[in-house]
Homo-oligomer: A and B are copies of this chain.
């Protein structure tokens, strides 16, 4: 099966290529980059010399559909909303790694993203690709809205306790930390080495576009309208996200029991690892892999649950989950090709 990749020179594309190379049923067909069309991929990314020397292409839905079976879109906000309709029309299934199809409400999208939303009929068709939760719908989807990195880590960490009815739904606080690759390859002072190295900073307080996405999925899963406090921080490292989450518990319950709830909830989820009592995951422990590791601790003094969830933002938070969704769409084992164990150290 051949995959087209749109948005060819960003980190999302590069990570897709890294993972596709290991997939037994998949290979890279076309890579589209309007800005660098004609150049070879390895000129932009010399680490792919002898691996991806093919020329970058311009976008042409018809031509892409003739030589590829599936399209991954790793484009900035506001782009895939325009390209996906053309691709679907030519019979291509699409997995969109951007935020353009994640929010069901076009109005919400416009508020948080400050772009024109996708046409409503496509927003309706799009299936939110949080693989562990929506595998049945994903199997028959033509258009996947691949979740954001923060929403993946947050919702996988929060859904079990919300579904357990033990949580005070008004008490949810998500303190999120991300490596800098999440900011992409576009130049900005925020990603300028000397500004970030030996520095830890908070950003976009109360304004991050992942807030409505998190609230949408938590509301869906809990059956209650959920509003969260969500703070994002930049860590001086390249890869990895940790969400430290706080939830007030409605009754006394031990850490051990909460862990049991999570273990049972995720018993069939290969990529979720719930840690034993007294141990907490770190971002390096999932680096390069599709795992989401979760640590849990009930503070008996405050009866508050702390949940720590870590992912590699470029794998489970982007390209890896996209492959996982592709596997589901094709009826393959969800692990197919996702064979990387964490790279440590």
Contacts and interface: CB of A to CB of B under 8 A. Distances in A.
Contacts of A192: 185, 187, 191-193
Contacts of A339: 21-22
A195 B233 CA distance: 20
Interface centre among A194, A197, A297, A304 (most CB of B within 10 A): A194
Contacts of A173: 173, 246, 304
Nearest to A312: B343
Interface of A: 11, 14, 17-18, 21-22, 45-51, 170, 173, 175, 177, 179-181, 183, 185, 187-189, 191-203, 205-206, 227-229, 231, 233, 235-240, 242, 244, 246, 273, 275, 279-288, 293, 295, 297, 299, 301-302, 304, 306, 308, 310, 339-345
Contact of A198 (B22, B229, B287, B302): B287
A213 to B, nearest CB: 15
B180 A193 contact: yes
A50 B233 contact: no
Indicate how many identical chains form the complex.
Answer: 4
A246 B275 contact: no
A345 B194 contact: yes
Contacts of A205: 280, 297, 299, 306
B233 A275 contact: no
Nearest to A228: B302
A16 to B, nearest CB: 12
Given A244-B175, A246-B246, A302-B229, A236 B238 contact: no
